[in-house]
Structure 1
Amino acid sequence: MMTIRTEARARLLGASALALVASFCANAAAAETVPAAATEQKADPATKSDIAEGSDIVVTATKANELAPVTASLKTTQPQAIVSRSFIEDSLPATVDFNQIALITPSVSNFGGNNGIGLSESKAQLRGFQDGEYNITYDGVPFGDTNDPTHHSTTFFPSNTVETLIVDRGPGNASNLGQASFGGTFNLFSRATRDDFGGEVVGSYGSFNTYLARGLLQTGTFANGAQAVFSGQYVHSDGRTSYSKYQNYNLFGKVVVPVTPDVKVTFLATYNKNRFNQADNDGSTLAQQALYGKYYGLNNDPNTSEYFGYNHTDKTTDFEIIKLEANLSPGAVFENRAYTYYYDNETLSANDVTTQPGIAGFKPYQTIGANGKAIVGDIPGYTKTNKYRVFGDIAKVRIDLASFATITAGAWLEFSHTYRQQRDVDLTTGGFNYVEKVVKAPATGLNPGELTPQYIKFDQKSRGNHTEEFVELEIRPIEGLKITPGFKHVDFGRKIDALYNQTTRYAQRNSNDYAADLPFVTINYQPLANFSVYGQYAKGFLAPPLSQLYVANTTFSNAVPQKSTNYQAGAVYHGSHLSLDADVYVINFTNKFYSYTDTSGQGLGTIFTNIGGALYKGVEGQATYAFGNGLAIFANASRNYAKTNVYTDPVTGKVVPRTTIAKAPQSTAAGGVLYKHGPIKFSLTDKWTGPQYSDLANTVRISPYNTVNLAASYAIGPIKVGIDVTDLLDSQKINQISGTLATGQIYYQPGRAVSGQITYSF
């Protein structure tokens, strides 16, 4: 297991964690609240700190940016898309998840959410990078699963907890933290506190018997300048797919306490609970859809594997941050953020929901009893647990060295504890299914000679330890020019202590450590008050997944971290009525993870290594034009190239030609009309996703599809009445294929959904 290697590093992180506990105050005012002057404004102008927290939240106060659903800062050093709270509230349904908020931005696509917007998990892609190949942060804290840094869009942060979302298309500076500083970052920022007392109560009802109740309370300023915001919501839906109910409970609170004029502490906590009916590997085949329709999910027949009572999941999470911000002197700022988060997934699922009586090729269900005899007709399934607790601390200090130079340095320490298990069960009786192969543990001193119970897939504990130290120097040689070289060192370690390890199914203690040194250089030049250009060179890093330790002998698995080299350049223009930005990028990705089964006869089992890589390149742009009467039009687009490099297969020895990365659209586009004047708010937006392949061999093509959303509301005093229509044109095209088109699981856009909403503000 990886350890902190120097006493100095231990003192730095230990002192910051114990003496300077931290939280993040994302007092990010939405774009429509900025003053009328055409200047860049910090989202929280009262905060003296100028340390970037994943991304600078700055907006330009122009008519275009007051209405723009997506914009970029003049100060950015990489391609960026800022999505405001006003767009989230005025143009999207209240159930929306963060991936679908980000979908309006260039180069972002997604799939999933087939049960309805925000009613089942979705996965986003960024320039063709898949979930787990880019970071997601909340108030500057990176989060993700502990087996690999993937995410669950409906689990931690529903839309009532998000003030602003910023998509950074690149690794950022050295101070941008995360386990997948590789393809970019989705930066989520928590709801902002306000100066005045107020709040709102929201109720909505719509398609699929979906209803939502939400409340938000702003305390305003009290007790020597303290402020707080609290929110809670409940969502229930029958779901778009059959027998796929969904429930969500969320509580959120944040308190900002100014201790002195130069010291501020923020406390944040959120709790989330989901329950839904869905198979662990959900989805239906064309044969099932021919019988029951394209939105067939589960049924009410206990004699089939698709019975809703056999397929359900409970997920419980919490997330807490404490942040300290301190102005140490006129030229020195310190912040420290301590955090913890928890995830618990408890699932009961059938093994396979794609075969059933009446489907060609169906084989009768069967389980195995304790006596080894088959029980024909009983339905096989499994229980699954995945739970983890993560603790971390992030410390940053920014010091003005001279009028033309500022240094920022800091460190991140994180460790996690995880428990995962799967057991085979007989869903018909509720007992165990003794279906696994007989495995005898090797004579390693860990349960030597023990026979693994034939109903256990795995029972595994693991730990992770991750540290990053960084430094960057911002140099301002002339007015308007900022050059920021930086360096980051990464250490990442994992250890498995399994009673029955995954795949091998016997007791193992495996570990591995990884390290990387990552250089960065960014440039931002602003020759005019409303125009800037920028450039970036950056190295990215992604550690191998935990599955590299699911092997009989780790000696023969030699995978090293994947790395990316990013080159990007762009420009931003903010006129009084026109907001415009564009960029080009080239990303070289090496050390692609690869696994294969040993065929040498030596019994080495699965082996993990690295082969080849990929090349990503493209051009992106976004624009908004405001007419001055509350009316604006916007558009953005991207042309993306994401293909593997040629490599030699280590098993067959054959040369594998270049292919397009699976689930990487070749282009995206969005556009629409927005109108805000007096009590009226209206938007009509369209997101188009270009052609893509569902498999790396490029044999299954997914055609382009688009989604048109309409939202309108009218306020009468404190009451606002609104309507949201997602997928106005009722497009029901395929947006994901798992396996082959003939026998795999086929997923569609959820189709048109209508919801009405009433909001009472006070």
Structure 2
Amino acid sequence: MSRHRYTFKPTPLTQALVAALIALPFASAHAQTAPDNLGTVQAGAEGGSGQTAAEREQAKQASAVHQAPTQGSLKAGQPQSIINQHYIENTQAPTANYSEIVSIAPSVVDIEPNGPGLGNSKELSIRGFQDGQYNLTWDGVPVGDSNDFTHHSAEYFMPQDIGQVIVDRGPGNASTVGYATFGGTIALLTKEPLDKPQTTLYGSVGSFGTRMLGAEFDTGVMKNYGDMRAFIDYRQLQSDGYLTGANIERKNLFIKAEKPIGDDSLLTFVSMVNRNSGSNAAIVGATSAPYVAVNNGKPPYTSTLPGQIQKFGPNYGLSSNPLSQAYTGYNYDDFQTDFEYLGLKSRLGGVQIDNKFYTYAYYHSGWNGLDPNGGGCDYGQVNCLSPDGTFPAGADTPNGTVNGASNIPGQHMYLNYRNWGDILRLKQQIGPGTLNYGVWLNYQTYHRYNSEIDFSDNQAWNATGIYPNGISKAVDRLINGTFTTAQPYIQYDWNLTPQLQLRGGLKYAWFQRHDNAPVEQKTKKPLDYTQTWSKVLPAVELHYAIAPNWSAYAQVAKGYLAPNENLFYIPNPQTGANSVEPEQTTNYQVGTTWRSQELTVSGDLYAIDFTNQVQSRTVAGQKYFYNAGGVKYRGAEIEATYYVGGGFSLYGNAAYNQAKQDSDGLQLAGVPKTTGAAGLIYNRGPWYASLIAKYIGSNYGDIGTDAGGKSVGIYAIPSSTILNASLNYTVQDAGFVPHGTKIGVQLFNLTNNTKINSLAGYTGGNVPLFYTNAGRSVMVNFSVPFQ
């Protein structure tokens, strides 16, 4: 049985647009560009059209709003951190994912064990809400995995195509749609095409054998094509990764085009195609002293036995030993993704229309050793007949398959899904306010598969016998399904006074899951079952514009999370599904935002009651789901940037995040009570420099019980501070190199802090695994624009 890779096929819509846009550079050579009116408008807004471009840029730089890494919104009705393109371009690695960009925001925790942008984020959370419990949107389109609504930060947009990121810490108002609005929303907004033609070459080289090269072509405004403007951006990335054996090869193509239609309409097309492969996704951590012992949920929770981190270093990932289940050649993943939408903004009478018809897909094929971090066999061993000293006796997962006692056991999987959907948003003035209404519709098909294989026997089945339906018993999971979502909403923004606005509305959330599984996960039996859930979700906000640069708000809103597919993994899902309500939150938040030339500051207080927390119990070897208790979230957040003068700014944020379980009063595992950031930024003329530190407080990796049977936090995770620096120079006048050429260097984790930062899970033998901070790294970058 040979390794089979699924071939990615872009949609016909993407193929047609790519072909058309490739031809645009030749056509644009004969097109006239639009008059440069934008500069005049900006000059007037910033102090007079008599200013030179250099003077306007200097005035913009001398602003806390421009230099702020994060800042609140004067219009939002809930806590919100806005991260602008200026910060992204000057401080983030050109390889970065959105997870690293948002990690600077208050209450956000991000784990990147393989280095900046060199793999998927492992533990990205907001206020303790984990991935799958908050929303992710791209230009307003909600996205998420088919089974648990998690996300894959390395499989979609790259930083060169992101214009802004907004972190909403809360469920939003009634018009906020998505799979998991109850934990907040990370909203990625793509950047706009340029008004003038330009070709930009850019690249980067740095630590861990990392190298990237890309090019972007902007058409400018093309009179011959009805004032259409567009850009095409393509880049290739390769890296060995910080972790041993965790290599990555990534290719990404991005297209955006905008065309005015008449005086009141704008048509937008976006397409992204991404291919990411390598041995990085199979990494789940490494064992580490003093937490190596097999505890089976009982004390003691410490050990003197050295772990893999102690024996092989904090960058241990995969093995170079082909006799090990951790061998890098057995642990391989291939991701192929695409995302497209066609958007129309228009006005029909007094109604403003914003509609996006979209599709996106995710195809993941993966191979891994049966227990890649739990085999107890690694470097320097001639064979794997005995443990390597990093596991307690009998706790490692030995080799051996049905085909041979020393053969290497492994697994092959795929998860493929495609979404088709539409978001229609309408807005019109009615009486003393604005009526907002619309609907989000999404239809997803998915296919999930997992099987046991033998790497020593050309990936033959590692099982004997067949199920009654004729499928080999080596197949652990074979599921074909659909997930349908409909969310209509209505909201009225009532202007009580010119400064005071009351926003109230309702959203109706309806979702239906259907599994047609020849082999259902866990039960290993066929299943054809459909379940539907629905809920009305109210939201009320009070927003007060105290002054043009100062606002305050208060919010009460309901949040929800669509049920996970694992509700179907029991013999009678009707019993499990009916007993489980969608997880819900009731959110209470108050806050304020102030902006001026010298200072941006925002702060908030929140209280969130999490009910219907889904838990499970095992009866006669089968797992049943039920609603039990909840969690109370309480906290405070603040972020501020102060422009000192002379190009210097000071930045800081701090957050207190309490997340106590109702059942025992313990802080949730993996949720630090405190996070913070502090930094110094210099931006004047051609120079940009920053020194920014992110602090994550101590926490516990899991919850266990002490000798008396009382619940306690176990696997203490120490506090950690990561210090990053950047230095960039942009050429102001054309000479040896073109105007706008930029050279920069970024240093990550200056102090080489390689502490353990989170629990990664457990081996098959119940040995805990841990992530560590990626070690010190450097990236040297360049971009050269040709106009």
**TM bucket, shorter chain:** 0.7 to 0.9
Residue type at the aligned position of 2:529:
N
**Among candidates 577, 584, 590, match of residue 598 of structure 2:** 577
Match of 2:779 in 1: 755
The 5-angstrom pairing of residues 414-453 of structure 1 reads 414-435=442-463, 449-450=468-469, 452-453=471-472
Q: Alpha-carbon deviations, 1:209-242, whole Å to 9, x = none?
A: 1001122222211132211122111110011111
* 1:700 alignment partner, SS class: strand
Match of 1:157 in 2: 157
- Pick which of 171-180 and 284-293 moved more: 284-293
The 5-angstrom pairing of residues 56-455 of structure 1 reads 63-111=63-111, 113-122=112-121, 123-222=123-222, 223-278=225-280, 280=282, 282-286=284-288, 287-329=307-349, 331-353=350-372, 354-355=374-375, 356=377, 357=384, 358-359=388-389, 360=391, 361=393, 362=396, 364-369=398-403, 375-402=404-431, 404-435=432-463, 449-450=468-469, 452-455=471-474
Q: CA deviation at 1:298?
A: 1.4
* 1:696 alignment partner, SS class: strand
Q: CA deviation at 1:435?
A: 3.7
- Pick which of 697-706 and 716-725 moved more: 716-725
Residue type at the aligned position of 2:369:
A
Q: CA deviation at 1:309?
A: 0.9
Match of 2:673 in 1: 666
Q: Kindly, what percent of the aligned residue pairs are identical?
A: 32
- Residue pair 1:673, 1:683 contacting (<8 A) in 2 also: yes
Q: CA deviation at 1:431?
A: 3.5
> Aligned partners of 1:64 and 1:37: how far apart in 2?
17
- Residue pair 1:452, 1:505 contacting (<8 A) in 2 also: no
Q: CA deviation at 1:196?
A: 1.9
> Aligned partners of 1:696 and 1:416: how far apart in 2?
35
Q: Alpha-carbon deviations, 1:366-392, whole Å to 9, x = none?
A: 1013xxxxx111010010000000010
- Residue pair 1:439, 1:505 contacting (<8 A) in 2 also: no
Q: Alpha-carbon deviations, 1:700-723, whole Å to 9, x = none?
A: 221110111100012334332211
Match of 1:521 in 2: 540
* 1:556 alignment partner, SS class: helix
Q: CA deviation at 1:203?
A: 1.4
The 5-angstrom pairing of residues 526-605 of structure 1 reads 526-557=545-576, 558-599=579-620, 605=622
- Residue pair 1:503, 1:551 contacting (<8 A) in 2 also: yes
Q: CA deviation at 1:199?
A: 3.9
- Pick which of 585-594 and 220-229 moved more: 220-229
Query: Unmatched 5+ residue regions in structure 1?
Result: 1-29, 40-59, 370-374, 441-448, 647-656
* 2:728 alignment partner, SS class: strand
TM-score by length of 2: 0.84
Match of 1:21 in 2: none
Residue type at the aligned position of 2:716:
R
**Among candidates 501, 509, 522, match of residue 490 of structure 1:** 509
* 2:90 alignment partner, SS class: helix
- Pick which of 416-425 and 739-748 moved more: 739-748
Residue type at the aligned position of 1:573:
W
Match of 2:494 in 1: 475
- Pick which of 289-298 and 382-391 moved more: 289-298
Change (3 A) 1:594 1:34: farther
- Residue pair 1:220, 1:228 contacting (<8 A) in 2 also: yes
Match of 2:759 in 1: 737
> Aligned partners of 2:62 and 2:784: how far apart in 1?
29
* 1:115 alignment partner, SS class: coil
Residue type at the aligned position of 2:525:
Y
Match of 1:3 in 2: none
* 2:586 alignment partner, SS class: strand
> Aligned partners of 2:354 and 2:398: how far apart in 1?
62
- Residue pair 1:365, 1:380 contacting (<8 A) in 2 also: yes
> Aligned partners of 1:755 and 1:124: how far apart in 2?
23
Q: Alpha-carbon deviations, 1:65-121, whole Å to 9, x = none?
A: 01111112211111010001111110111111101100111010112x211111011
> Aligned partners of 1:216 and 1:322: how far apart in 2?
21
Residue type at the aligned position of 1:709:
N
- Pick which of 626-635 and 410-419 moved more: 626-635
Change (3 A) 1:135 1:68: same
Residue type at the aligned position of 1:565:
T
Change (3 A) 1:608 1:61: farther
The CA RMSD measured in Å over matched residues stands at 2.0
* 1:265 alignment partner, SS class: strand
> Aligned partners of 1:167 and 1:290: how far apart in 2?
37
Query: Unmatched 5+ residue regions in structure 2?
Result: 1-37, 48-59, 289-306, 378-383, 705-712
Residue type at the aligned position of 2:264:
D
Match of 1:16 in 2: none
> Aligned partners of 1:93 and 1:156: how far apart in 2?
16
Residue type at the aligned position of 1:114:
P
> Aligned partners of 2:755 and 2:717: how far apart in 1?
9
- Does residue 695 of structure 1 match 2:702? yes
* 2:559 alignment partner, SS class: strand
- Residue pair 1:564, 1:590 contacting (<8 A) in 2 also: yes
* 1:225 alignment partner, SS class: coil
Q: Alpha-carbon deviations, 1:297-354, whole Å to 9, x = none?
A: 112221111111101000000000111111112x320111110000000001101122
* 2:703 alignment partner, SS class: coil
> Aligned partners of 1:272 and 1:177: how far apart in 2?
25
> Aligned partners of 2:648 and 2:481: how far apart in 1?
54
Change (3 A) 1:78 1:755: same
Q: CA deviation at 1:640?
A: 0.8
Change (3 A) 1:629 1:62: closer
* 2:566 alignment partner, SS class: helix
Match of 1:618 in 2: 635
> Aligned partners of 1:761 and 1:683: how far apart in 2?
24
Change (3 A) 1:570 1:34: farther
Change (3 A) 1:36 1:69: farther
Q: CA deviation at 1:500?
A: 1.1
Change (3 A) 1:277 1:760: same
Residue type at the aligned position of 1:333:
Q
Change (3 A) 1:106 1:34: farther
- Residue pair 1:62, 1:574 contacting (<8 A) in 2 also: no
- Residue pair 1:712, 1:722 contacting (<8 A) in 2 also: yes
**Among candidates 501, 511, 521, match of residue 502 of structure 1:** 521
The 5-angstrom pairing of residues 713-732 of structure 1 reads 713-716=728-731, 717=733, 718=738, 719-732=741-754
Change (3 A) 1:310 1:691: same
Q: CA deviation at 1:36?
A: 7.9
- Pick which of 296-305 and 417-426 moved more: 296-305
- Does residue 712 of structure 1 match 2:727? yes
- Residue pair 1:38, 1:62 contacting (<8 A) in 2 also: no
> Aligned partners of 1:62 and 1:520: how far apart in 2?
38
> Aligned partners of 1:279 and 1:759: how far apart in 2?
30
Number of residue pairs aligned between Structure 1 and Structure 2:
680
* 2:77 alignment partner, SS class: coil
Q: CA deviation at 1:200?
A: 2.0
> Aligned partners of 2:421 and 2:181: how far apart in 1?
17
Residue type at the aligned position of 1:710:
A
Q: Which runs of 4+ in 1 moved over 6 A?
A: 33-36
Residue type at the aligned position of 2:402:
I
Q: CA deviation at 1:434?
A: 3.4
